[in-house]
C-alpha cells in the first residue's frame, strides 16, 4: 500500500505540472485574443481616419483614400478571422484546463481516500493489538 501511495504522489506531481502547462497555454490564448481584439479596434480607428473629408480635394486624394480604405477593410476582415480563431483557441484552452483540473482533483481524491484507508487500518491494528499493561510504581 505504501508503494501505491508513492505512485499516486508521482501521478499527482505529473498532473500538477500538466495543469500548470495547460493554464499557461490558456493565458497565452487569452493574451492572443486581447491582442487580436486591440488590432481589430486599431484598424477600425484607422479606417475612420481615412474617411473622405468634405473639402475641395483633388480626385487623386479620393482615389488614394478609397485604396487605403479598401486595404484597411481587407485587414479588418483578416483581423476578424484571426480574432475568431484566437477565440476558438481560447475555448479549447479553457476546456483543456477544466479537464486537467478534473484529472488533478481525481488524483487528490484518490490520495485522500488512500490516506483515510491507512488511518482506518492503523486504528484497527491498534484495536486488535494485545493490551500491554505496565505497572507503574511510585518512585521508591
Strand runs (DSSP E) across the chain, as ranges? none
What is the CATH architecture of 2-120?
A: Orthogonal Bundle (1.10)
Q: Where are the domains of the chain?
A: 2-120
What is the rounded average pLDDT of the residues 71-91? 92
What is the rounded average pLDDT of the residues 91-119? 92
pLDDT at 56: 53
Cell 484546463 found at: 97
The chain-wide mean pLDDT, for the chain, equals 84
Per residue in 35-49, pLDDT (tens digit) is 999 999 998 888 887
Amino acid at each position: 500500500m505504501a508503494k501505491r501511495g508513492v505512485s499516486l504522489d508521482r501521478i499527482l506531481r505529473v498532473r500538477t505540472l500538466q495543469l500548470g502547462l495547460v493554464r499557461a497555454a490558456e493565458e497565452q490564448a487569452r493574451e492572443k485574443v486581447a491582442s487580436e481584439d486591440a488590432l481589430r479596434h486599431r484598424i477600425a480607428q484607422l479606417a475612420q481616419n481615412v474617411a473622405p473629408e468634405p473639402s475641395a480635394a483633388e480626385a487623386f486624394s479620393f482615389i488614394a483614400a478609397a485604396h487605403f480604405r479598401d486595404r484597411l477593410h481587407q485587414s479588418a476582415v483578416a483581423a476578424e478571422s484571426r480574432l475568431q480563431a484566437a477565440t476558438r483557441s481560447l475555448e479549447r484552452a479553457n476546456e483543456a484546463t477544466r479537464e486537467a483540473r478534473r484529472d488533478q482533483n481525481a488524483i487528490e481524491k484518490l490520495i485522500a481516500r488512500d490516506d483515510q484507508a491507512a488511518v482506518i487500518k492503523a486504528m484497527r491494528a491498534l484495536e486488535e493489538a494485545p493490551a500491554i499493561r505496565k505497572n507503574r510504581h511510585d518512585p521508591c
